[in-house]
Amino acid sequence: MKRDVAIEINGTLYERTIEPRMLLSDFIRHEARLTGTHVGCEHGVCGACTIQLDGEPVRSCILFAVQADRHSVRTVEALTADLDGELHPLQQAFHEQHALQCGFCTAGFLMSIEPLLATPERLEDDAEIREALSGNLCRCTGYQNIVNAVRDAAQRMREPAK
Amino acid sequence: MKPSAFEYETPERTDEALELLARDPEETKVLAGGQSLVPLLNFRLARPDRLVDLNGVGELAYLRRDDGALRIGAMTRQATLERSSIVEERWPLLKQAIRLVAHPQIRNRGTVGGSAAHADPAAELPVALTALDATFHIRSARGSRAVPARDFFLQPLMSAIEPGELLVEIETLPMAANSGTAFVEYARRHGDFALGGAAVVLEHEDDGSIGRAAIALLGAGPTPLRASAAEAALVGATVDEASAAEVAALAVEDVRPTGDIHGSAEYRQGLLRSLVRQALLQAAQVPRAA
């Protein structure tokens, strides 16, 4: 039986009537038409579909959309929402450090790391950065440039607004 | 990669969940964090008629200290356990184990009860809970019962929870002062299911000898296994390089891991011996402040 849901995504409320089996990743892409969230393995391994549910990074392909009813979802589109065409500092760091090639996995990486930039001191050494990145797969880069980008972004968050 | 259709129930209280489970127990699955179940649904390896989603049952998500014991509500997120300072101080083994469970995004959603109920033989939490002699509190519409860890894990992916029953709480007793713990595993890639692992609890006497030991093995058999003979051999002994190697050999003497493409049975047995030795040495080094 279909259900009525009201899911807030990036500050916009999406009210739909959906089957319980619809994955949240499909709701985001097909109902909300936000295609920045990519779907890779669709069984919770690759991390490409990572979004934030109530502020916590989770995989949207192993959540049902009905489970996000009356919850708040943030996707990669939110990173630049208020930036007037600029990139988010994390995206800027990815750009400068060549932390992507094909880019398919990038949105997932960004959504996993972005909340951690609130406490950049926890991203001080590479072991911590690698642990934070461990849930996202990238088939192009070999990861070193992604580690560099996260280190760079954490540095920027620590330094600027003094 | 899309699940087949199911009826979807969202109870808000435990009693309500139990009533829903009692209605058609055989065809109903409980949805906790969904980090193992939903992949199975996506692959259609599981096709239940009905899901009872516990994520709205707030009363099942808690960490409580009660007369020294730790009570973990079944819907407590793994990340909550990971971030708890009480757990870190008083039950460090759980913290050591949880850091090895998959990845941060999975731990944000995955639950402690879900991991126990799923009973994956390669999962860390069941092994840690086995080493801690945890008690599993189970309820159904008919009543409640408590199952000790040694009787809880029955087969791969099969626990003592019967259809119509619900795991509501996991309880671990206080650890003795001067206890040291360690959780060591080996996986090909960080966050993957491990090929082998060992959880160790050592209670140190004032003279430096071991008063009591618990050793639980991951990947040694179809369920977490306790190495009773090795545990007994440690009592009254001290842990050093030589005795750790000896006890580790004893711990794996009778285990027969199943070999597969990732490692032969012989390799896994040798790996387990090495991991037990490492875990013993680590647990001997970190006596907890009383």
Nearest to A47 among B7, B51, B105 (CB): B105
pLDDT at position B177 is 87
% of residues, chain B, pLDDT over 70: 98
Q: Chain B residues with CB inside 8 Å of A57's CB?
A: 104-105, 108
pLDDT at position B155 is 96
pLDDT higher than 50, residue A148: yes
Contact criterion met (CB < 8 Å) for B109 and A56? yes
Between positions 73 and 132 of A, the ones with CB within 8 A of B are 112, 130-132
Tens of pLDDT, residues B155-197: 999 999 999 999 999 999 999 989 999 999 999 887 788 999 9
- Which of A20-24, A42-46, A132-136, B259-263 is least confident? B259-263
pLDDT at position B1 is 78
B192 or B56, greater pLDDT: B56
pLDDT at position B285 is 87
Between positions 100 and 129 of B, the ones with CB within 8 A of A are 102-106, 108-109
Contact criterion met (CB < 8 Å) for B103 and A134? yes
Contact criterion met (CB < 8 Å) for A62 and B102? no
| ipTM for the whole predicted complex goes beyond 0.85 | yes
Q: B6 touching A, CB under 8 A? A: yes
pLDDT higher than 50, residue A69: yes
Tens of pLDDT, residues A10-20: 999 999 999 99
Nearest to B1 among A43, A50, A132 (CB): A43
pLDDT at position B77 is 98
Mean pLDDT of B236-243: 96
Contact criterion met (CB < 8 Å) for A62 and B38? yes
Residues B85, A64: Cα–Cα separation, whole Å: 32
Mean pLDDT of B40-47: 96
Give the start-end residues of each E strand in B205-275.
210-218, 225-226
Q: Whole-number mean pLDDT of chain B?
A: 95
Residues B25, B19: Cα–Cα separation, whole Å: 10
The pLDDT confidence band at residue A158, using thresholds 50, 70 and 90, is confident
C-beta separation of B90 from B174 below 8 A: yes
Q: B4 touching A, CB under 8 A? A: yes
Backbone angles phi, psi at B240, to 5 degrees: -140, -175
Mean pLDDT of A124-153: 95
pTM of the model: 0.95
Which residue's entry shows tokens 């000790």? B148
Backbone angles phi, psi at A76, to 5 degrees: -60, -30
Which DSSP helix (H) or strand (E) runs through B202? Answer: strand B196-204
pLDDT at position B286 is 64
Measure in Å the smallest separation between the Cα of A51 and chain B Cα atoms: 9
Q: A37 touching B, CB under 8 A? A: no
The pLDDT confidence band at residue B288, using thresholds 50, 70 and 90, is very low
Of the candidates A145, A153, A143, the one whose C-alpha atom is nearest the C-alpha of residue A47 is A143
**Closest chain B residue by Cα to residue A132:** B104
Q: Chain A residues with CB inside 8 Å of B42's CB?
A: 23, 42-43, 61-62
Residue A77 corresponds to which amino acid? E
Q: Chain A residues with CB inside 8 Å of B2's CB?
A: 21, 23, 26
Contact criterion met (CB < 8 Å) for B103 and A56? no
Contact criterion met (CB < 8 Å) for A66 and B8? yes
Residues B279, B201: Cα–Cα separation, whole Å: 9
Q: Whole-number mean pLDDT of chain A?
A: 95
pLDDT at position A159 is 82
pLDDT at position B204 is 95
Residues B93, A134: Cα–Cα separation, whole Å: 22
- Quick one: tokens of B30? 């409980």
Tens of pLDDT, residues B59-78: 999 999 999 999 999 999 99
pLDDT at position A78 is 97
Q: B45, B103, B120: which to substitute to probe chain A, counting the most A Cβ within 10 Å?
A: B103
pLDDT higher than 50, residue A56: yes
The pLDDT confidence band at residue B289, using thresholds 50, 70 and 90, is very low
Q: A33 touching B, CB under 8 A? A: no
% of residues, chain B, pLDDT over 90: 94
Residues B115, B119: Cα–Cα separation, whole Å: 7
Mean pLDDT of B238-267: 95
Contact criterion met (CB < 8 Å) for A21 and B7? no
Sign of the C-alpha dihedral computed for residues B149, B150, B151 and B155 taken in this order: positive
Residues A28, A13: Cα–Cα separation, whole Å: 12
Mean pLDDT of B11-23: 98
pLDDT higher than 80, residue A109: yes
pLDDT at position B191 is 77
Tens of pLDDT, residues A25-53: 999 999 999 999 999 999 999 999 999 99
Q: What are the CB-based long-range contacts (under 8 Å, 24+) for B156-163?
A: B156/B119, B156/B120, B156/B121, B156/B222, B156/B223, B157/B118, B157/B119, B157/B120, B158/B119, B159/B116, B159/B117, B159/B118, B159/B119, B160/B136, B161/B117, B162/B25, B163/B21, B163/B25, B163/B26, B163/B28
Max Cα-Cα span within chain A: 55
List Cβ neighbours of A80 (8 Å cut-off, separation of 6 or more): A86, A87, A88, A91
C-beta separation of B130 from B150 below 8 A: yes
C-beta separation of A99 from A141 below 8 A: yes
Q: B242 touching A, CB under 8 A? A: no
Which DSSP helix (H) or strand (E) runs through B95? Answer: helix B92-98
pLDDT at position A160 is 63
